[in-house]
Structure 1
Amino acid sequence: MSAEAQQSADRVLTIPNALSFLRLVLVPVFLWLLLVEKADGWAFVVLLVSGFSDYADGKLARLLNQSSKLGALLDPAADRIYMIIVPIGLGVREIIPWWLIGILIGRDLLLLLSVPLLRTRGLTALPSTYVGKAATFALMYGFPLILGGQLDGVFGDIVRPIGWAFLIWGTGMYVWSFLQYWVQTVLVMQKMPPGGGMSAVDSR
């Protein structure tokens, strides 16, 4: 790697990193609005901003050539926290059922079981799949739309079924991507020799 490329990868102060950090900061704000203030309208806005920032940071990282090592860690970390905290908050308010929350969180916890196996082959994660990215996208828009469906009036009536469609479709793809990752893990264990340098690849 050239010195210029190394310097670029080590950057911290970038627009995509700022957006990922914003997404992390908005998680407790969302919980306060949802559970303490019960201000569903503002909580809905916070989730929309979070979903847009998740889309924007990846796009901007490529367009502005601002990819970085920190961004490769921060973005998926923010997604994972979002995918755990937001459904739990909605569950506490009895907006979505706990069995569905169990599927979403259980998927991520079971996926963590692949990490020790991958480390024996010099990897820390697997490449993202189209299904995994589509599932995350669907869920990140399904949650705010379902919350928006709690609002009174025509707006709530319109977005409620759309939100559930996103959530059901996203959950199905989330489970399917879990199966894909475990198939990939088995193939890695069969085809790659033990050892090697650690390589971190975003896995969603």
Structure 2
Amino acid sequence: MASSSSPEISNRVWTVPNILSFLRLGLVPVFLYLIITAQDALALLVLVFSSLSDYLDGFIARRFNQMTRLGQLLDPAADRLFIFAALIGLAARNVIPWWLFFVIVAREVMLAMLGIISANYGFGPLPVHHLGKVATAALFYALPVLMLGQAFPAIASVTDPVGWAFALWGAFLYWWAGFIYVAQSVRISRLPRV
């Protein structure tokens, strides 16, 4: 008897969740342009739309059994690219320091290397850990809150501390999740090859 807790993952490409993910990917350069040119209110609008479509694509995928292998790659790719675009744009404008950008990029480089190692052992991408999702969510809250202070300076005295709290906590959790992925990769590398 099949477990109801593990939904079927299909190889379909053209599903509503995947189309929403493609749309989000297409909005990344628009978002980066808006941040770099200090059009923060419009950038926030794009980010809100992206966040809502991110929630919607996950809901539709689960509710209507449209989970796909492509969606499992597109969704986190779009999330990461939005985070990188926000980091690059905000660092270029000296809203955040470049060290925060490098801390997050270094973790992503480490995960890319782990993916290559896992592939060499015949395994696909590592399963997403809940801590990694929490870290991504913290960064997803941090960057718009920091942008909000840029768009509306009158509230920056409130948004900046909240945004920095989420940013630092998110970066810490990002690396904590990264070390969990390292441990998973080590376990995989010790399994006998098929």
User: Under TM normalisation by the shorter chain, which class is it?
Assistant: 0.7 to 0.9
Q: What is the root-mean-square deviation in Å for CA atoms of aligned residues?
A: 1.9
Report the identity percentage: 42
Q: 1:143-154 maps to which residues of 2 (within 5 A)?
A: 143-154=143-154
Q: Is the 8 A contact 1:150 1:160 kept in 2?
A: no
Per-residue CA deviations over 1:101-145 (Å, capped at 9, x if unaligned) read 100011001111112321232112111111001011111121111
Q: Secondary structure at the match of 1:141?
A: helix
Decide whether aligned partners of structure 1 residues 152 and 119 sit closer, same or farther in structure 2, where only a CA change above 3 A counts.
closer
Task: Compare 153-162 and 172-181 and name the one that shifted more.
Answer: 153-162
In structure 2, what is the equivalent of residue 132 of structure 1?
A: 132
Answering whether residue 174 of structure 2 is matched by residue 174 of structure 1, we say yes
In structure 2, what is the equivalent of residue 194 of structure 1?
A: 193
Aligned partners of 1:185 and 1:153: how far apart in 2? 45
Q: Is the 8 A contact 2:148 2:156 kept in 1?
A: yes
The gaps in structure 2 that reach 5 residues or longer are 1-7
Q: 1:90-101 maps to which residues of 2 (within 5 A)?
A: 90-101=90-101
Letter in 2 for 1:169: W
In structure 2, what is the equivalent of residue 32 of structure 1?
A: 33
Q: Give the C-alpha shift of residue 70 in structure 1.
A: 2.0
In structure 2, what is the equivalent of residue 3 of structure 1?
A: none
Aligned length, in residue pairs: 187
Decide whether aligned partners of structure 1 residues 115 and 65 sit closer, same or farther in structure 2, where only a CA change above 3 A counts.
same
Letter in 1 for 2:193: P
Q: Secondary structure at the match of 2:151?
A: coil
Letter in 2 for 1:189: S
Q: Is the 8 A contact 2:17 2:57 kept in 1?
A: yes
Q: Give the C-alpha shift of residue 154 in structure 1.
A: 4.2
TM-score (normalised: structure 2): 0.88
Decide whether aligned partners of structure 1 residues 65 and 149 sit closer, same or farther in structure 2, where only a CA change above 3 A counts.
same
The gaps in structure 1 that reach 5 residues or longer are 1-6, 196-204
